């Protein structure tokens, strides 16, 4: 899969533009990736393309930081360790816990200057989560319902189908109740 920039996005290098062809993993929600020269925004979306989690990487040209936000966990701020700068070695970056607190006003301003190309749901989630920090780690994102893998019904006994049906109905009701 090749990464490419969405041709409908702005030519302004300071505006977040979406990459297409982002590798997806079968065991996690779909990811959308937006970037500028100094910032990356990775957003996880549910089956209806609604964002529920994000990672905002900034200061890419100096000491890069990653701010991750999840609805149940709140914020996590880390330093991105890209390893040695040897071009002959491709090292996967790792996140190291940062003792620095992030400057919310600075980061919110940096994001607001760069977000005019983002879908409103993505820009809204990130802006609202940043504006609520630190008073509340809980912002409006919702984790999607995880559907259990299915086995063709011809190979399952009837009682298993009934039990799976009851579990799915209970999960839908619990999700609807929790989000209302």
Q: What tens digit of pLDDT does each residue of 113-165 get?
A: 999 999 999 999 999 988 887 655 554 444 444 444 454 545 555 566 666 66
Residue 60 sits in which domain range? Answer: 4-132
| Mean pLDDT value across residues 9-20 | 77
Four-CA torsion 24, 27, 31, 36, nearest 10 degrees: -70
Indicate if 125 and 154 belong to the same structural domain.
Answer: no
Indicate if 122 and 154 belong to the same structural domain.
Answer: no
Q: Which residues, listed in sequence order, are joined to residue 17 by a DSSP beta bridge?
A: 35
Indicate if 112 and 153 belong to the same structural domain.
Answer: no
Indicate if 28 and 101 belong to the same structural domain.
Answer: yes
Q: For 102, which DSSP code?
A: P
Q: How far is CA 132 from CA 70, 96, 125, 157, in A?
A: 13, 24, 11, 50
The Cα 25–Cα 76 span in angstroms is: 22
Q: Given the DSSP bridges, would you call strands 4-5 and 17-20 parallel, antiparallel or unpaired? A: antiparallel
Indicate if 13 and 69 belong to the same structural domain.
Answer: yes
More confident residue, 6 or 14: 14
For 44-62, the pLDDT digits (tens) are 999 999 999 999 999 988 8
């Amino acid at each position: 899969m090749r990464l490419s920039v969405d041709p409908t996005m702005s030519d302004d290098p300071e505006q977040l533009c979406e990459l297409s062809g982002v590798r997806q993993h079968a065991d996690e929600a779909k990811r959308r990736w937006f970037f500028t020269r100094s910032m990356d925004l990775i957003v996880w979306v549910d089956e209806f393309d609604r964002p529920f989690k994000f990672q905002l990487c900034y200061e890419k040209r100096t000491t890069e930081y990653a701010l991750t936000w999840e609805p149940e966990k709140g914020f996590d701020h880390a330093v991105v360790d890209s390893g040695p700068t040897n071009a002959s070695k491709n090292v996967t970056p790792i996140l190291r816990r940062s003792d620095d607190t992030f400057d919310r006003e600075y980061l919110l301003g940096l994001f607001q200057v760069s977000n005019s190309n983002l879908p409103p749901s993505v820009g809204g989630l990130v802006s609202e989560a940043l504006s609520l920090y630190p008073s509340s780690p809980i912002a409006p994102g919702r984790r999607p319902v995880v559907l259990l893998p299915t086995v063709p019904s011809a190979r399952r006994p009837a009682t298993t189908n009934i039990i799976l049906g009851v579990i799915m109905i209970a999960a839908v009701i619990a999700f609807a109740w929790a989000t209302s």
